[in-house]
Amino acid sequence: MIKLFKYLRPFGFQVALIVVLIFLQTMADLSLPTLMSDIVDKGIAMGNTAVIWKTGIYMLIVAFIAITFNISAGYLSARTAIGFGMNIRKKIFSKVTAYSLDEIDKFGTASLITRTTNDVTQVQTTVFMITRMMLMAPIMAIGGIIMAVTKEPKLSWILILVLPLMTMFIVFLTVKGFPLFGIVQKKLDRINLVLRENLTGIRVIRAFDKILYEQKRFDNSNMELTDATLKVNRLVALLFPFVMLVMSLTPVLIVWVSGPLLENGSIQFGSLMAFIQYSTQIMFSVIMITMMFIMIPRAQASAVRINEILESDTSIKNSVKTQFPDKPAGFIEFRNVTFSYHGAEQPALNDISFTAGPGKVTAVIGGTGSGKSTLVNLIPRFYDTAEGEILVDGINIKFMEQEKLRSLIGLVPQQSRLFTGSISDNVKFGNDSADDAEIRHAAETAQAYGFIMEKKNKFYDIIEQGGLNISGGQKQRIAIARAVVRKPLIYIFDDSFSALDFKTDAQLRRELRKETENSTVIIVAQRINTVMDADNIIVLDEGRIIGSGTHSQLISACSVYREIVESQMTLEETV
Ligand code: ADP
Ligand code: MG
């Protein structure tokens, strides 16, 4: 929590102002009971009307000042807390955008989302409470005690009895409650994850009739969250009645004790009333401190989770001295590259070496899980290699500026992601400065022009969230157009033709050939047809290269390749 306070720095002046306002307000509040006792003891008891009027007006003014200061302080607190939350969210967002996929995998998307929303809100609310109430509580408590004791020293032993009792009870509950708050946030992450999976996978869940199963999974997480929250709330529920009880019994005790003293005239009626009011003010501040004890551990659990994000640095950084080829050509070389995912037992890629050059098409084929996507994801440096190196135009990509490296690459990922916006916006995502003619040309190359023209608003047709309103094949083609409009030196197609029919696939690759004459093209595919005419075909199996060469070379030299060919050829012939 303390670490996060540095994000309060921009609000330093406001916070200082709040402190001053609250101090003055508390002073005003503390003077009211004394003024009132003056009215009673010096005015009413003595029948002095002038004193009643004078002190009464004085009280009104003081009360008005207290209210004005209170409202201003509240306004400033709200502004400070909201601004504080906004700054932290902004910081988290920029941090997460800079993360390599390694860190994103580590935290998990669901957790990153809860941390940015729920956890920040938790901390933000606490800052509001601190500035709004908790600053006031200690001043009020100490001031109240001083005033009460000077007013009626004979009764002050009651406070000495009550206050420690209250404090001990609160501390006890806080110590018990602290670990629970962390658990609640974890359960919230879990429920977020299940919900996300359910919503994004709703089609699969329905198709496989897993609604009941998913329902159970959700119920379980929901139950766990409920249990944890219940435990926390039970503690809190114990706390408040106890505090309220003490608060109501104390005046009773005071009145009871002071009865005889009133009778023999050793205390006056007005100052007894003032003493009761002071003790209420003190108790009230103790309640505020109680709330602080409840809120701060809770916010602390959230703050820890936020700090985890803010403090874990991306593992992929630009090196201090970056290099870049004078005349990039797009030549790629893998040298003995081995790579493992975070926490995986076996490397996903093992001792991979190959080269891919401009004007050539390099294809990667292999079963699912053989490491094809992993291989191409290393080229834009989404992950860093464990061993070996990847060179682009003879320079190790670790020494290149990431932005520059990526500017050379047009990537069509296996999962084509489109963004909410028009088709034109989505294509332009690849190149902001593309004009209409270039966008149209890219769409034509990607075989997307035909279906775009059939849309009501053509290029300005809106793609909904996640691209749900267009087909998988259409999505892939827009993603391809997005890469083409970039005119990159390196094209990477990760299984990008799988949702296309054979005819469109062939047509698209013919058009692409014209476009990519001087570029390095890497095509990942499952279909023999797609890779057959590549200049070099790499056959991957369990993360290792088990053969490479042209189609005809591989047919005679690589048994796995021959098997893939045979299985697919017979299939097509029978169709
Ligand atoms: P392909 O694209 O050939 O189907 P991938 O490259 O996607 O294969 O996956 C290769 C292996 O790496 C698989 O065993 C897969 O389970 C694992 N893998 C892929 N992505 C991740 C990830 N983000 N974290 C951990 N393991 C992964
Ligand atoms: Mg893949």
Three-state DSSP string of 162-214: HHHHHHHHHHHHHHHHHHHHHHHHHHHHHHHHHHHHHHHCHHHHHHCCCHHHH
Beta bridge partners of 259: none
Question: If you take atom 6 of ligand 1, which residue's CA is the nearest one?
Answer: 371
**What pLDDT digit, counting tens, does each position of 389-430 carry?**
999 998 999 898 888 899 999 999 888 888 888 889 889 898
Q: Which atom of ligand 1 is nearest to the CA of 105?
A: 23
> Are 436 and 391 contained in the same domain?
no
- Ligand closest to CA 375: 1
Q: Which atom of ligand 1 is nearest to the CA of 346?
A: 14
Q: Which atom of ligand 1 is nearest to the CA of 495?
A: 2
> Are 193 and 279 contained in the same domain?
yes
Beta bridge partners of 354: 334
CA–centroid distance, residue 373 to ligand 1 (Å): 7
Is 74 domain-assigned? yes
> Are 426 and 534 contained in the same domain?
no
Is 529 domain-assigned? yes
CATH number at residue 11: 1.20.1560.10
Decide whether any atom of ligand 1 lies within 6 Å of the 371 Cβ.
yes
> Which of 283, 311, 339 is at the close of a domain?
311
CA–centroid distance, residue 374 to ligand 1 (Å): 6
Q: Which atom of ligand 1 is nearest to the CA of 372?
A: 3
Decide whether any atom of ligand 1 lies within 6 Å of the 542 Cβ.
no
Is 502 domain-assigned? no
**4-14: burial string, b at 16+ Cβ within 10 Å, e else:** beebbeebeeb
Alpha-carbon separation of residue 319 from 11, 310, 383 (angstroms): 35, 21, 15
Question: If you take atom 5 of ligand 1, which residue's CA is the nearest one?
Answer: 371
CA 433, CA 417: separation in Å to the nearest integer?
21
Residue 9 near residue 80 (C-beta atoms within 8 A):
no
**238-256: burial string, b at 16+ Cβ within 10 Å, e else:** ebeebbeebbeebbeebee
> Are 125 and 262 contained in the same domain?
yes
- Which portions of the chain are predicted below pLDDT 70? 570-575
> Are 303 and 259 contained in the same domain?
yes
- Ligand closest to CA 495: 2
Decide whether any atom of ligand 1 lies within 6 Å of the 277 Cβ.
no
Mutate to test the pocket of ligand 1, among 104, 106, 349, 373 (most ligand atoms within 8 A of CB): 373
CA–centroid distance, residue 364 to ligand 1 (Å): 15
> Are 380 and 424 contained in the same domain?
no
Is 461 domain-assigned? yes
Decide whether any atom of ligand 1 lies within 6 Å of the 372 Cβ.
yes
> Are 455 and 542 contained in the same domain?
no
CA–centroid distance, residue 214 to ligand 2 (Å): 27
Decide whether any atom of ligand 1 lies within 6 Å of the 369 Cβ.
yes
Q: What's the pLDDT at 574?
A: 44
- Ligand closest to CA 372: 1
> Are 227 and 356 contained in the same domain?
no
Q: What's the pLDDT at 575?
A: 42
Is 515 domain-assigned? no
Structure tokens that stand for 574 in this block: 């029978």
Question: If you take atom 14 of ligand 1, which residue's CA is the nearest one?
Answer: 369
Q: What's the pLDDT at 571?
A: 52
CA 31, CA 310: separation in Å to the nearest integer?
46
Decide whether any atom of ligand 1 lies within 6 Å of the 413 Cβ.
no
Question: If you take atom 12 of ligand 1, which residue's CA is the nearest one?
Answer: 348
**Residue among 454, 424, 416 nearest 440 (CA):** 424
> Are 403 and 265 contained in the same domain?
no
Residue 392 near residue 331 (C-beta atoms within 8 A):
yes
Mutate to test the pocket of ligand 1, among 341, 345, 498, 540 (most ligand atoms within 8 A of CB): 341
> Are 569 and 433 contained in the same domain?
no
Decide whether any atom of ligand 1 lies within 6 Å of the 347 Cβ.
no
> Which of 285, 311, 337 is at the close of a domain?
311
Q: How many CB atoms lie within 10 A of CB 41?
A: 19
Q: Which atom of ligand 1 is nearest to the CA of 375?
A: 6
CA–centroid distance, residue 469 to ligand 2 (Å): 24
Q: What's the pLDDT at 178?
A: 74
Domain residues for the domain of 358 are: 325-408+491-496+521-575
CA–centroid distance, residue 382 to ligand 2 (Å): 14
